[in-house]
Structure 1
Amino acid sequence: MQLIYAKPSPYSRKARVTVLEKGLAGRVEEVVVSPMEDPAVLLEANPLGKVPALRLDDGRSLYDSWVICEYLDSLAPTPRLIPDGPARFDVLRRAALADGVLDAAVTARMELLRPEDKRWTPWTDRQRRAIGRGLAVMERDVAALGAELTLAHIEFAVALEYLDFRLPDVVWRDTHPALAAWLAEFSQRPSMQATRPQPS
């Protein structure tokens, strides 16, 4: 399999962390691209030109980090990142919450890349309010994540470290001490250390 990704992309990072946590590194070749250049290897795997994309051994491709992570989770029995039964929806809800915070952060970051006179402040402010509300719920929810690794753990960690990486003015640790303490420990995992975001 080939995982086609960009180093700064938090969506790529979710897939990369999943590969490592599932013990699949030996089965997945990493292919680094710059999506803005529309490289052929990416467009062949994902007509939308977005990362990550996963090219399977039979030539088929999967795209969208959610789909890729669920597929990778199906390849090895442990750890089970998306459980069955009632717990499944608790994990998926928490993962969706963190993913929503991440989406808002990426949107706010993209607006900051526009020339200053072209930026729409009400739009950026709306994204930041969404981030704040999401973090408040994550703060209340973090203790319920538990010790057994799930996709929600990965989503929480990737979203929080993306804020540090791209929106450092969002000073979230002082007002979210439980999240800060949790991330300080979780970020030491080898999968997180090996996938730290890097500017393109």
Structure 2
Amino acid sequence: MDLDGNWEYGFGFYNRGNYPEYGAYAHHFPAVENQHVYFPLHPFQFGTVHIHPDNGKAIPMFSHDDLYSVLKIRDVYTANTFLNNNNLNGDALFVSVLVVIQNDIKHTYAIKIDDISKLRSLEALKANEEDWIDFGNEMSEAYAGDDGDGTNGSAYEYQVALLKFIEDNDLGVSLYEMNQTNPGPNVAETWDKLTLSNTTVIKTPCN
């Protein structure tokens, strides 16, 4: 994914397993409004991947809208009886992946659901426009810290800020980071689950 530019773009993860010619695949979505990607809600969509461009304006970490999208994707997918009955992974299936550049280094993160009842707390905030804006501003301020505008921090600073924000708001989601080795056709990908101990980020391999 090319992160140079002013526009987001991304892909929806689709599972159309009731059609043998499909299965799981990624469907491209360009930015359409205000330079952001808005993923339509489809009953066969189980996740998304998108970028925040490296343009000095977009905060290179998950937004409150990204967190909310995981909840809505989950709800629409599980409302489909066929797909829900054939989902052996429960809420662990649903994911939001983000590719960003932090301090000149590309990082790939994922958000997954731990406790759907806690994540539902976002619904009340989303229902009130002013509350939702305030919640987004609170998240942006967490990334900015005591200095700066939130666009020039290190990966570690963003990780700590997001993990603390998730913990303080009891959002019921977990943060993961992808590692790549052997670049090229033999690339290998592994994931670490990131957790916070005081102000220390703990990385636990999960595959």
Give the TM-score category using the shorter length: under 0.3
TM-score (norm 2): 0.26
Between structures 1 and 2, the one with greater helix share? 1
Highest relative contact order (Cα 8 Å, sep 6+), 1 or 2?
1
TM-score (norm 1): 0.27
Between structures 1 and 2, the one with greater strand share? 2
